Amino acid sequence: MTPDEACFACHSYDVYGNPASPAPTLMASRFNPPGVTSGHAAHTEQNVPCFACHVTHGAAFQPHLIATGRVPGIVAFTETPGGGTCTPTCHAPQSYTVSYAR
C-alpha cells in the first residue's frame, strides 16, 4: 500500500502504513511493535488492505472496527483488557498487547 491510498487521507501513513517510521511514531497505533511483532505497518507493507480487517466507516458495536468473515481477513477477534487475539485466514491465531495506555 502507498501513502495515496484512500485510508491515508484521514489516517497517518507513517503510523499505519510505513514500517520504516521511527518506533515512537509506530507506537501511535496499538497494533504495531512492541505490542505485536507484525502489526499495521507490516501488514500494509505486505499489501494487505485495511478493509481486509476493518469496517471502513465503522459501527459502535464493533471494537476497533474489526470486520470478520472476509478473505483475506479475520475469522474471529477477542478483545482482552491488555490487547486481544485475532484468528485470521492467512496465519495462526495471534495474541497481542496494547503498546500504550488507553
Pairing of strands 74-80, 94-97: unpaired
- Model's pTM, two decimal places? 0.76
Does the structure show a pLDDT above 50 at 102?
Answer: no
Average pLDDT of the chain, as a whole number: 86
Quote the pLDDT of residue 21: 92
For 26, the 3-state DSSP assignment is helix
Distances (CA, A) of 98 to 6, 66, 72: 26, 16, 23
Residue with cell 496499538: 30
Backbone angles phi, psi at 88, to 5 degrees: -90, 170
